[in-house]
Amino acid sequence: MKEVSPTEGQQMVRDGAVLVDVREPNEYDELHAEAALLLPLSELEARYAELPKDKPLLMICRSGARSARAGEFLLQNGYGDVTNLAGGTLAWNEAGLPVVRGG
């Protein structure tokens, strides 16, 4: 699976990719990349059909490991354009890209 840096990932989102955060809701609520759609890894097998097949998917988690697993699952289940964000939300935040912080 392809991997991109946070700045490359931000450009993908600007170009129409769907940013999919696979962390759990409590992690997402604390801090997530702006425009990220929450679909926890624990629910992926049951809900992956909710994701569009006609748009690139950019997977993100905390550091990149869970999103890589999720991306591999999607590739094995008929999704063709799946990319992992290297370094995850930690790297996205460190790069100064837009985030939403919980209360």
**3-class state of residue 38 by DSSP:** strand
61 in active site: yes
Q: How far apart are CA 57 and CA 80, in angstroms?
A: 9
CA dihedral 58, 61, 65, 70 (to 10 degrees): -50
User: What does the DSSP 8-state code read for residue 17?
Assistant: P
Q: How far apart are CA 19 and CA 48, in angstroms?
A: 14
Catalytic residue among 13, 22, 61, 68: 61
**3-class state of residue 40 by DSSP:** coil
Active site residues: 61
